[in-house]
Amino acid sequence: MGWQPRWFILDNGVLSYYKSQEDVNNGCKGSIKMSVCDIVVHPVDMTRLDLIIPGEQHYYVKASTPQDRQSWLIALGSSKASFSEVSGAKKDADGVPDQVRTKKSELRLYCDLLMQQVHSVKETVSQTDGSFDFQKLQECASLIGATCDTFICTLEECMKIVSSTPMFESPHQHVRDAAIPSSPTRPNVQRLPGTRSTITRPLERALKHRSTLSSSSEVKVHTSSSHHSLIEDTSNTSANSTVLLQPSIHISSEASDALSQSVHFLEEAIPVGNGLTTEHTTNNNANESVLEPSHLVLSTAASSDDLETLDDFKDAIDETIMTFFSAMPVSFSNVDTSDEESILVIPFLEACNNLVPIFDKLNSTAFSPVKMDFCGNIKKIHQKHLSDPEKFLTLQSMVLDEVQNGQHTHSNSATSALLWLKRSLEFIREFLRECSSGSTDMSICASNAYSRTLKNYHGWVVRGVFAVAVKALPYRETFVSHLTVDEKTTVDPMSPQFEHALLTDIEVFVQHLDRVLVVINTFYIKHSLDSAEKV
Ligand SMILES: CCCCCCCCCCCCC/C=C/[C@@H](O)[C@H](CO[C@@H]1O[C@H](CO)[C@@H](O)[C@H](O)[C@H]1O)NC(=O)CCCCCCCCCCCCCCCCC
């Protein structure tokens, strides 16, 4: 098989490919709607992945390295998840909702991937010559971590679908920890003060110590419209014809967020892989080798046994009310601060990025400078991390590097970006504290929070910007309604139940955010990096 390099763009749920980056303006050679295709990892080749549109087309794709493939899988999987059918009404012949089928295939994919990755670890530690490649082992571990993250997120989404689908509902619903045997109570669940008896928490705990996170929020959502039909490769229509791939691929991928699918995070696409190669065949069945699920986790058949299993899954999510905060796939509760000198960059940025949808729920024009600043700082830190991901694994490492090189005072430095991101987060923390202390006037909440935080660093011009922005704040009711997970559901954002759930979730969120901010603050003070200078 001859592989050819191609330039790929993942945009709005559609993967398009071009002859080269320079050729982008001449139109794509083909495109694939991610929501209708299955992603299959190659059983042997760690750089291969296949994109299969059942009964139609088969694309063979090859990345430069297993790590690149991992990035691609996460980006493609996130895109597929973001742009999958949301109606929930469509079912296959067995009555299984399409969304569940899609999630199952994603879970299978990640299982296959995990098997391969575990196999690599085994191989690495059992070298016959007795040597031990520690770096390779670290790489393998990092890949496994990322795959587990993606698996858990997908499972979480699957559980949400299952719980909201009538055919999977059972008459008895009790709240318990997914990690312990079925029981009407949850004796072993550790809770932060004030947390609700929900089961999203075990997932939070499961996520908490993970060191790598999916790339879903490190990327951008474009505004361009999606293509709804598959465009065949016109350059070569013969069976088994190969389509290209190029050693440096630049893609932008879509972030899935709990609140909205039309959120624009960053101003430019962040490359998540630097090498991908594909082969494409328009033959309906030639060379198709769709992997059968060998490690199927979720069964959707409606036998009583399966219902028991599904009940377990269903119990593993919040059966009461989800809010924006508890639905966040990664939040500050997942940012480990047990080593105060080492906050991992990716979980931290992921947690920040997951706040971004809220900006769009506020008045978009008035808040766009705020959003740009917030997202710009996320991006600056991310770019610094990407410049040497191993060296700049932690926030502290990148700041100290800049200090050593005298770059920390540059306006574009990661040090400055983190300083301002920290200040923005302090504002958010104080704003949420104000909101949950009983005040119903959002502008008072914002003004109080502002006085305690950002105002100290703003000159009169920027203070004026704040004064304008604060006038554009929605009423509390509107804001609260944006904090429901799915505005189409029957959850009444004005109900006392939702209010209670929201307040509890805010309390937990603020506690974790505060924990992270204390560590960053201490670090900045220790190295004299904070400044009272006003902008
Ligand atoms: C709900 C209340 C909304 C009111 C929020 C108003 C906030 C103040 C508005 C001020 C306008 C900001 C415009 C940008 C100003 C920048 O000049 C300033 C400095 O920028 C930094 O300059 C450095 C160089 O000197 C550079 O290196 C660095 O990279 C750059 O950042 N930036 C700021 O002052 C930061 C302002 C960000 C404010 C973010 C506030 C977040 C508001 C969140 C609203 C949602 C609240 C609900 C939270 C619920 C969570 C789910």
Model confidence over 343-357: pLDDT tens digits?
Answer: 999 999 999 999 998
Ligand 1 centroid to Cα of residue 381, in Å, is 16
Residue among 101, 92, 115, 104 nearest 41 (CA): 115
Contact 255, 219 (CB under 8 A): yes
Contact 513, 332 (CB under 8 A): yes
Q: What is the atom index within ligand 1 of the atom nearest the CA of 413? A: 27
pLDDT at 487: 56
Q: Ligand 1: which residue has its CA nearest to atom 39? A: 424
The pick from 373, 412, 470 for probing ligand 1's pocket by mutation, whose C-beta has the most ligand atoms within 8 angstroms, reads 373
State how far the Cα of 443 lies from the Cα of 244, in Å rounded to an integer. 55
Q: Ligand 1: which residue has its CA nearest to atom 29? A: 417
pLDDT at 277: 37
State how far the Cα of 227 lies from the Cα of 361, in Å rounded to an integer. 26
Ligand 1 centroid to Cα of residue 387, in Å, is 25
Computed over every residue of the chain, the mean pLDDT equals 69
Determine what percent of the chain is predicted with pLDDT higher than 70: 64
Which of 55-59, 259-263, 289-293 has the highest mean predicted lDDT (pLDDT)? 55-59
Which of 46-55, 303-312, 386-395 has the highest mean predicted lDDT (pLDDT)? 386-395
Contact 245, 276 (CB under 8 A): yes
Give the residue-averaged pLDDT of 78-82. Answer: 71
Given CA atoms 450, 454, 456, 461 in this order, what sign does their dihedral have?
negative
For 468, residues 6+ apart whose C-beta sits below 8 A from its C-beta are: 366
Measured from CB, residues less than 6 Å from any atom of ligand 1 are 324, 355, 358, 369-370, 373-374, 376-377, 411, 416-417, 420, 424, 427-428, 431-432, 446, 454, 462, 465-466, 469-470, 473, 535
For 378-391, write each residue's pLDDT tens digit.
999 999 999 999 99
Which DSSP state fits 344? B
Ligand 1 centroid to Cα of residue 329, in Å, is 24
12-21, 106-115, 459-468, 517-526: least confident range: 106-115
Q: What is the atom index within ligand 1 of the atom nearest the CA of 325? A: 51
Ligand 1 centroid to Cα of residue 377, in Å, is 10
Q: What is the atom index within ligand 1 of the atom nearest the CA of 411? A: 27
Give the residue-averaged pLDDT of 205-214. Answer: 28
Give the residue-averaged pLDDT of 48-74. Answer: 81
For 489-527, write each residue's pLDDT tens digit.
667 888 888 888 899 999 999 999 999 999 999 999 999
Q: State residue 499 phi and psi, 5-degree precision.
A: -55, -45
For 242-255, write each residue's pLDDT tens digit.
222 222 222 223 32
pLDDT at 391: 96
The pick from 355, 356, 442, 454 for probing ligand 1's pocket by mutation, whose C-beta has the most ligand atoms within 8 angstroms, reads 454
Contact 20, 218 (CB under 8 A): no
Ligand 1 centroid to Cα of residue 373, in Å, is 6
State how far the Cα of 104 lies from the Cα of 96, in Å rounded to an integer. 11
Cβ–Cβ contacts within 10 Å for residue 391, how many?
12
User: How far are the Cα atoms of 78, 153, 371 from residue 150, in angstroms, in the given order?
Assistant: 9, 5, 27
pLDDT at 191: 29
pLDDT at 1: 54
CA 269 remoteness from chain centre: 15
Q: Does residue 127 surpass a pLDDT of 80?
A: no
User: How far are the Cα atoms of 63, 81, 239 from residue 254, in angstroms, in the given order?
Assistant: 19, 9, 31
For 440-449, write each residue's pLDDT tens digit.
899 999 999 9
Q: Ligand 1: which residue has its CA nearest to atom 47? A: 428
Given CA atoms 22, 28, 29, 34 in this order, what sign does their dihedral have?
positive
Q: Model-level pTM?
A: 0.51
Determine what percent of the chain is predicted with pLDDT higher than 90: 29
Ligand 1 centroid to Cα of residue 28, in Å, is 38
Q: Does residue 94 surpass a pLDDT of 80?
A: no
Q: Where are the beta strands (DSSP E) in 237-337?
A: 245-246, 276-281
Ligand 1 centroid to Cα of residue 370, in Å, is 5
